[in-house]
A = this chain, B = another copy of it.
Amino acid sequence: MIENPYYGHEFHGDYDLISIGEFPLEEGGTIPDLSLAVATFGELNEAKDNAILVTTWYSGTHQIFRDVYLGSEHALNPEKYFIVVINQIGGGLSTSPHNASGPNQAIAMSRFPHVRIGDDVRAQEQLLREHFGIETLQLVVGGSMGAQQTYEWIVRFPDKVKRAAPIAGTAQNTPHDFLYTKALVEAITSDPGFNGGEYSSNADVVEGLKRHAGIWAVMGFSTEFWKQEVWRALEFDSKEAFIEGFLEPYFTVMDPNDLLCTAWKWQHGDVARHTGGDLAAALARSTAKVRIMPISEDMFFPVRDHQAEQVLTPNSDLRVIDDVLGHLALFGVAPTYIGQVDAYLTELLDS
């Protein structure tokens, strides 16, 4: 393992590390001692039926949900619901390549096994059941890779999910998305400092991480975000200053192997693995009320990819979030973003 202060309480506030023990993985191999980083908000009622599960995205943690999505003024209201945000395996807070130590020493760094979306969802289900006694979720909600996990929930555990809201992400990863992620991966692995995953500090890979940020700049926002200079709202005075002052620092504090672990997971997300490749049959398993929420200007999870899956998903509808930021609208920077999310989720929760 290597020390990386970004992945700790100083930057991420309160969360608990909860071990669920040895965890066998779908691709083979096992995590000897899987700990999930869990942040909870609100209180679980006696019937244990007021829980909402929030899943996390690539490079994201519970922090963005705490700061942007949750609160008594939001649909995800801790005064009403017990909200559990479970950080991804490999995402840096839960068991991940960079922090694997002790019983996990054998899978540290470059030796970390491939993890699938299905592994996360199985681990989440086990943790919710064993640790909290939760058997039913009022809602599963997440963006991007969090949407992949949301879809996996309604296909794998349909009886446990009453409502689901995948935001800006698909049930079956698209080939274009695979290639986009491949470019991100190669930006990191091509850095000589990466050293096959055996660097001594994420700082060794800073050039690769900056190129990775540069590719996010191209695909993560929309063409209009740049043309309209929307970054001025964040008080930068040039696009270069925005990239150097926001996008690069956002990624360069992170761990390269952790990003690669979750990138592989993102690339291979596909609920149709449950049904021999038949996406329609997989989605047909869902019994939840599903609200699918693409972002209007998303360049790599475009609206039409959501539409194609919505028509295959029983009891579902589509609500497009209008936001010029594109995919990274998920950060909630635009003042009009969270209001749309809240309105769509409140309707869903009240139905």
Contacts and interface: CB of A to CB of B under 8 A. Distances in A.
A214 B186 contact: yes
A82 to B, nearest CB: 38
A176 to B, nearest CB: 4
- Choose among A208, A223, A226, A302 the residue with the greatest number of B CB atoms under 10 Å from its CB: A223
Q: How many copies of this chain sit in the oligomeric assembly?
A: 2
Contacts of A243: 179
Given A176-B218, A191-B190, A227 B183 contact: no
A101 B326 CA distance: 47
Contacts of A305: 223, 227
Contacts of A348: none
A175 B300 contact: no
A211 interface: yes
Contact of A175 (B215, B226, B299): B226
A174 interface: yes
A134 interface: no
A71 B41 CA distance: 69
Contact of A302 (B178, B183, B223, B239): B223
A211 B226 contact: no
A219 interface: yes
A58 B275 CA distance: 44
A227 B176 CA distance: 7
A180 interface: yes
A208 to B, nearest CB: 8
Nearest to A224: B304
Contacts of A177: 223
A217 interface: yes
Contact residues on A (Cβ < 8 Å of other chain), bracket? 35 or more
A211 B239 contact: no
- Choose among A174, A175, A218, A224 the residue with the greatest number of B CB atoms under 10 Å from its CB: A218
Contacts of A302: 223
A182 B214 contact: yes
A175 B214 contact: no
Given A190-B207, A190-B211, A215-B215, A223 B183 contact: no
Contacts of A229: 175
A249 interface: no
Interface of A: 174-180, 182-183, 186-187, 190-192, 207-208, 211, 214-215, 217-219, 221-227, 229, 239, 243, 299-300, 302, 304-305
Given A176-B221, A176-B225, A183-B214, 17 more contacts: A174-B226, A175-B227, A176-B222, A176-B226, A178-B239, A179-B239, A182-B214, A190-B190, A190-B191, A190-B208, A190-B211, A192-B192, A219-B219, A223-B300, A223-B302, A223-B305, A227-B305
24 contacts: A175-B229, A176-B221, A176-B225, A179-B214, A179-B218, A179-B226, A179-B239, A180-B218, A183-B211, A183-B214, A183-B218, A186-B214, A187-B187, A190-B190, A190-B191, A190-B207, A190-B208, A190-B211, A215-B215, A218-B219, A223-B300, A223-B304, A223-B305, A227-B305
